[in-house]
A = this chain, B = another copy of it.
């Protein structure tokens, strides 16, 4: 206990915070944790925490995400670095923020040490947020919507296999508009990113659908 690490000049603390998006019930949701300690105790905040001294930034984001929510192995991308001098009331904190996309079948929340609770919220119905986390979320949402139009980032929301109807639903939810079925199929197939698995999806009282999968599940391609 105490003050073991000394420097010639004052230093800010460095944290990472992650905006985790998923799609559930045809809605874009994001993950918040309820803070278990001050400041902003009992308020909702983004999962995140302090950088270990020998830890890569992205590794820190992944670690905090897993520790606080149990989520791992998802798409993660650096968003922006926030460093307003007074964004944390305790002291100077620089936050390197990331955003993550989680397939809808991959959600398995578990609260833990730092987080009294964790839950998914619709973007339109967010609670009051700690720090400048509202601003971070707004930026992450803008980036996600922008990337929809010039990359294959939306595929990161899909499970391993899916039908074209399910994929179209995802795009419709994210873009918040209905799309023409024929045009969507022509376009998405022309990208050359998905292929038929050969299997059929026989759920529901209607004609079975072809099941597709990604050719490169890990890669997010730039299109256009």
Listed in ascending order, the chain A residues whose CB lies under 8 Å from chain B are: 1-14, 50-51, 53-57, 78, 80-81, 83-85, 92, 94, 96
Contact = CB atoms under 8 A, between A and B. Distances in A.
A83 B11 CA distance: 15
A186 B18 CA distance: 43
Contact of A94 (B3, B4, B57, B78): B57
A6 B6 CA distance: 4
Given A78-B80, A94-B96, A7 B14 contact: no
B51 A12 contact: yes
A9 B14 contact: no
24 contacts: A1-B8, A2-B8, A4-B8, A5-B8, A5-B10, A6-B7, A7-B7, A7-B11, A7-B13, A10-B53, A11-B12, A11-B14, A11-B53, A12-B14, A12-B53, A14-B14, A14-B94, A51-B94, A53-B92, A54-B85, A56-B83, A56-B84, A81-B96, A94-B96
A215 B3 CA distance: 55
Given A53-B92, A57-B81, 5 more contacts: A5-B9, A5-B11, A7-B13, A14-B83, A57-B94
A5 B10 CA distance: 5
A16 to B, nearest CB: 9
A92 B11 contact: no
Nearest to A83: B57
Contacts of A83: 14, 51, 56-57, 96
Given A11-B13, A94-B14, A55 B3 contact: no
A6 B3 contact: yes
Contacts of A56: 83-85
